[in-house]
Amino acid sequence: MTDKEVVGFIGLGLMGKPMALNLLKAGHTLVVHNRSREVVKDLAAQGAIEAHSPKEVAEKAEIIFTNLPDSFDVEQVVLGPDGVIEGVRNGQVFVDHSTIKPSTARLVAERLLESGVLALDAPVSGGDIGAQKGTLAIMVGGPAEALNRVRPMLEVMGKTITHVGDSGAGQIAKAANQVMVAAQMVAMGELLILAKKAGADPEKVVEAIQGGAAQC
């Protein structure tokens, strides 16, 4: 048995499954739900508790995590029929790791607060490798008291946890992160074209500048 809080995880895709598995390995009682059931069965075989709806996850867990494809999915899972909001109770914390609109994060937080639930928008960066290794960068928006409560769990999944500000601020930080990623991808494309047109081996050029200020 464990004295750690029971956690729920909804959305067990490329990122969500390894994140949930890290919580399970850390000794948490884990309740899981996913639209595709095969991954649920896989985690259940490793010790997780199977749930059949977001509502059931909320009923069984004290801390609820989600990692879903987009804003629409988050709204449906949290606020829709058999959603998280139908199973919550006062004192729980909801943490969304999805990358969504800041306005959606604020809406979800406002609706959950009506039921006494504090919400954090906590998108992540680091890819599936970071999710597997527990080295994600986690950008958090929402109440500091909620972050303090779930920080030990976030530290299982991430290497850096930064409280950016109020609800929606985590999503704003993630948008900024994506701008930087896109700029780097464009720059990489330009330098490869430059190298090739100027008569150098693009692969060797990348190798040459990896250890310099570019660090690409």
| Catalytically annotated residues | 174
Question: Cβ distance 115 to 88 under 8 Å?
Answer: yes
CA–CA separation, 212 and 207 (whole Å): 10
Say how far residue 32 (Cα) sits from the centre of its chain. Answer: 15
Residues near 190 by Cβ (< 8 Å), separated by ≥ 6?
none
Task: Spell out where 47-177 has E strands.
Answer: 49-50, 63-66, 93-96, 118-121, 124-125, 136-141, 158-165
Q: Looking at this protein, which amino acid is placed at residue 75?
A: E
